[in-house]
Amino acid sequence: MKKIYYGKAVYDNREISAVLKVLKNDSLSLMCLQKLSLPEGSKADDVWERVIVPTIQMKYINLKGNMNNDLKKIYLSMMCFVMID
C-alpha cells in the first residue's frame, strides 16, 4: 500500500465536493437540531451556543472524570508483593 502524505496529497473536485456536502448536511449541530424540538421563537444558533454545546461539554467532562477515577482506583488497587526468604 502506497502512503500518501497529507502535505503532498492532491484532491480532485469530486472528493472536495463530497467533503463539503458532508460538512453542510451531516454536521453535529445539524443532527442535534433536527432531533431536538426547539422552543417557539428561539433561534437555532442561540440554542446551539447557549444550551446544546454546554450540555455536550459537561457530559464529556463527566465521562472523562469518571474514567480517570476508575483508572486511579485500578492503579491503587494493584499491590506488588515481594517475598524475601
Q: Is the pTM of this model over 0.75?
A: no
Q: How far apart are CA 10 and CA 31, in angstroms?
A: 30
Instruction: Report DSSP letters for the chain, one per residue.
Output: -----GGG----HHHHHHHHHHHHHS-HHHHHHHHSPPPTT--HHHHIIIIIHHHHHHHHHHHHHHHHHHHHHHHHH--------
Give per-10-residue mean pLDDT for the chain (85 aa): 64 82 80 82 86 88 84 77 64
| Per-residue pLDDT at 26 | 77
